Structure 1
């Protein structure tokens, strides 16, 4: 080897090292920025959703404290009061999500939180079934945009692989709200009074006031999007935008204006519809647990006091929250969602099968843990999956809204799964939930197989992809969304 060859080799090595060092430095800056976003964005959104779920499900705790008796509710009146909430929720789901996009999550989420906090306080002053139904209807309007709004908001900040875990942290508030709500209700009920309010009235009033206070803080702390973040430098803003934009095929801008063609593509997307159906089935189970767990545990341990029953609702929710973090962490590390969605069903099936098979109180209480173990994770997993399988911001907003709307159709069904006439064994409610878990497992497996099949078909015709879009304008190409020949489904 002569000196010239030696110099050339060392120059190549130096160049490779320079590129490696640049890449490592870029990755280090991105990791540091992601941690900064985690600390500045996720906590506020998480707390908002916690109180959203608390203010929605605290009626289950109030029921044990005399809500039904004081309002003179009989027969199926309680189920009717629950149902009214979901009627308004379903009707306003997609409009609320589009409103969130129009005015911006930084304003929309705190203001709608202020609204449902006020409705929680108002519930403390109802005296009749009609008044309770009216307030619950308004509560549904204000809460309709919270879940899809939060998921949509987080999708502005994170890449696909990262989003599932952050949604998981956020969605742990669903099970934790049950634990938190049970503990809070137990503590509140130990008070003699709160002003002129007593018993179950204090639960709604105190928790509503906490929500209102949190909404006012969120008005100050919640940043609408990366470009407006006061806590980021200009360089960090550019990195935050570009890293999310890098995953958007043929999209010229990260945040587009509302476009009807893209909205239709987001709604008609096959994976949006399949995943939304899974979430509908899942929410029958999740909200059945949220609304009826105190009632179920009272049927298991009829001799326990109200406070003891409230406390027994806490451990299953803790397990549900821990499982949600575990499953979404696996999803992030594996960059996979569909298989994990399918794997959530079997444990839930076993739990409800045990409910149907025995009346032994300790075994039935153990079955509650199985039923709650994996079911809460699908809120994060399904929202992440529909978000990963659309392109534009417009399509993403309507896809997440559709997923949430289907989910709360499941919530409406859930309000009629545990009926007084079915107590104490609840064959109907437990049987429905068993069937839902089995069905969503089958649908998830089927959707995963279809995605692989369709991706293979797209690969086979990839050579003619350019010809398929030839002659189309840039806007028409962008509007193709999942119909673009270069698009591939993300399982």
Structure 2
């Protein structure tokens, strides 16, 4: 064998055989572990039971502590703080300024310090902020607390998605992400019920009316953070609730999906090249754009559904209006679980990016076409069904189309960071002068749904085209281009690696 042939063979081995690039697990045991479907299924269920419930609870109260300001508005927040004109919209916007700024830094800290510590600490922080909101008496103090709330909440959504990517295969990830992100619509439903129940109390200590909402929900959040500190573990090999064989299988499952492009470890060190490649990955950028568009709807629905309900049922009591906000979120929760489950079942996310937005578009068309309260209330069900699962698919699809752990952390952080610019836009989409029909807000959301559909269709076509283009390059030519590279250089290539293929 010539020197050149030996070099090419070395690259072939380095790029494709994950049994040999990692010496911590013997090759025979890797084969045995991966061949036992029942063992893998049992492990997956165990991870589901230990990881998903606490992550879901953290995100539930993250969303409640963010969106309960809409319930507080109905209960007298504006009057007590002397808010007029666009003060409410300004208060909502303050949150998103810090929320956007701290998104990527928070997710990189999650990788650096470990999600088992960072995620509970963030939860504790925004729980304390919620309690503090109960004691504000001016608009400026409320704005200050909302800014700090955004700092703590910024890292939770992308942090949990990144955390789950340490435990699940790419095909499994969308449904697991949906199992915690379903808490966003459930927070709208449960938050309305909880706010209604709290408002029935005469007082909580010296606090009354809307102040009780923030205080009680904040205390619950702090309790969940304490539980998370005690139960979350950074990664499979530090989980006390896994046997040694289960740790090896959990680690090998994740490693095997990137071994063909030269990745030898599951958790790599922070690397600036991979961080940048994760952010500038074409799929990451498109997912961030779609996340921005859909967040205009999702966040707007959270903040303004109580207001919309009040315009539809102006003569109902405050508690009754709170309860009317619940059913659309239940439908949104069903959609958030159903669509990602189907995407995992068929191992295809792009098709659902194309199928789901038209449902949301139908809802906003009904809003614009009719002033009948029953028609418009019915439209909120279509909007919730068509908008909530898109964010899950964005996180899952960006995670599925990067290679290393570092790139995954930065990619998910970028998607959520740029996506939340849509949340900032949503705070100004339903303006007081546009009430009660909100033609501007509804028209804007119809436009974002349409653009989401077109963007997803274009991405699907480009993905198919680029994969075919990569397939046309000869296998020998690919190996020759990699022959002079070190293992680190191969890892740093990320999606530029010749053997990389985009996932649909």
- Structure 1 length normalisation: TM-score? 0.95
What is the CA deviation profile of residues 15-74 of structure 1, one whole-angstrom value per residue up to 9, with x for unaligned ones?
Answer: xxxxxx979971110000000000011001010000100000000000000000000000
**2:139 matched to which residue of 1?**
129
1:468 Cα deviation from its structure 2 partner = 1.8
What is the CA deviation profile of residues 334-371 of structure 1, one whole-angstrom value per residue up to 9, with x for unaligned ones?
Answer: 01111112212101111001101111011110011111
Tell me if 1:298 matches 2:310: yes
RMSD: 1.1
Tell me if 1:258 matches 2:270: yes
Tell me if 1:142 matches 2:152: yes
Tell me if 1:315 matches 2:327: yes
1:374 Cα deviation from its structure 2 partner = 2.1
In the alignment, which of 461, 465, 488 is matched to residue 453 of structure 1? 465
What is the CA deviation profile of residues 165-204 of structure 1, one whole-angstrom value per residue up to 9, with x for unaligned ones?
Answer: 0001111000000001000000000000000000000000
What is the CA deviation profile of residues 63-105 of structure 1, one whole-angstrom value per residue up to 9, with x for unaligned ones?
Answer: 0000000000000000000000000010111101111111100
In the alignment, which of 479, 489, 494 is matched to residue 476 of structure 1? 489
- Quick check: 2:34–2:40 contact (8 Å CA) kept in 1? no
1:462 Cα deviation from its structure 2 partner = 3.5
Tell me if 1:27 matches 2:37: yes
In the alignment, which of 82, 88, 92 is matched to residue 72 of structure 1? 82
- Quick check: 1:352–1:430 contact (8 Å CA) kept in 2? yes
**1:59 matched to which residue of 2?**
69
Tell me if 1:386 matches 2:398: yes
Question: Size of the alignment, in residue pairs?
Answer: 471
Task: Point out where structure 1 has 5 or more consecutive residues left out of the alignment.
Answer: 1-20
**1:486 matched to which residue of 2?**
499
Alignment CA distance shift 1:409-1:265 (3 Å)? same
Cα distance in 1 for partners of 2:478, 2:87 equals: 58
1:473 Cα deviation from its structure 2 partner = 1.4
- Quick check: 1:462–1:485 contact (8 Å CA) kept in 2? no
**2:452 matched to which residue of 1?**
440
**2:4 matched to which residue of 1?**
none
In the alignment, which of 179, 195, 207 is matched to residue 189 of structure 2? 179
Cα distance in 2 for partners of 1:209, 1:87 equals: 25
1:406 Cα deviation from its structure 2 partner = 1.2
Tell me if 1:431 matches 2:436: no
1:416-427 correspondence runs (5 A): 416-427=428-439
Alignment CA distance shift 1:487-1:235 (3 Å)? same
In the alignment, which of 455, 466, 469 is matched to residue 479 of structure 2? 466
1:304 Cα deviation from its structure 2 partner = 1.1
In the alignment, which of 417, 434, 438 is matched to residue 405 of structure 1? 417
- Quick check: 1:462–1:486 contact (8 Å CA) kept in 2? no
**1:238 matched to which residue of 2?**
248
- Quick check: 2:340–2:389 contact (8 Å CA) kept in 1? yes
Q: Counterpart of 1:193 in 2: which secondary structure?
A: coil
What is the CA deviation profile of residues 225-268 of structure 1, one whole-angstrom value per residue up to 9, with x for unaligned ones?
Answer: 10100000011000000011100131111001100000111011
Cα distance in 1 for partners of 2:390, 2:134 equals: 32
1:99-110 correspondence runs (5 A): 99-110=109-120
Cα distance in 1 for partners of 2:346, 2:297 equals: 27
Q: Counterpart of 2:102 in 1: which secondary structure?
A: helix
Task: Point out where structure 2 has 5 or more consecutive residues left out of the alignment.
Answer: 1-30
Q: Counterpart of 2:200 in 1: which secondary structure?
A: coil
Cα distance in 2 for partners of 1:111, 1:415 equals: 27
Cα distance in 2 for partners of 1:434, 1:486 equals: 39
Cα distance in 1 for partners of 2:354, 2:278 equals: 23
Q: Counterpart of 2:36 in 1: which secondary structure?
A: helix
Q: Counterpart of 1:377 in 2: which secondary structure?
A: helix
Cα distance in 1 for partners of 2:134, 2:392 equals: 31
Cα distance in 1 for partners of 2:348, 2:189 equals: 29
Cα distance in 2 for partners of 1:324, 1:145 equals: 21
Tell me if 1:354 matches 2:366: yes
**1:3 matched to which residue of 2?**
none
Cα distance in 1 for partners of 2:152, 2:181 equals: 19
Cα distance in 1 for partners of 2:128, 2:32 equals: 52
Alignment CA distance shift 1:23-1:125 (3 Å)? closer
- Quick check: 1:157–1:244 contact (8 Å CA) kept in 2? yes
Cα distance in 2 for partners of 1:127, 1:341 equals: 44
Q: Counterpart of 1:223 in 2: which secondary structure?
A: coil
Q: Which portions of structure 1, spanning 4 or more consecutive aligned residues, are displaced by more than 4 angstroms? A: 21-25
Cα distance in 2 for partners of 1:474, 1:98 equals: 23
- Quick check: 1:50–1:177 contact (8 Å CA) kept in 2? yes
Cα distance in 1 for partners of 2:262, 2:138 equals: 56
- Quick check: 2:157–2:416 contact (8 Å CA) kept in 1? yes
**1:11 matched to which residue of 2?**
none
**1:287 matched to which residue of 2?**
299
Cα distance in 1 for partners of 2:482, 2:434 equals: 58
Cα distance in 2 for partners of 1:342, 1:482 equals: 24
What is the CA deviation profile of residues 268-306 of structure 1, one whole-angstrom value per residue up to 9, with x for unaligned ones?
Answer: 100000011000000000000000000001111111111
**2:180 matched to which residue of 1?**
170
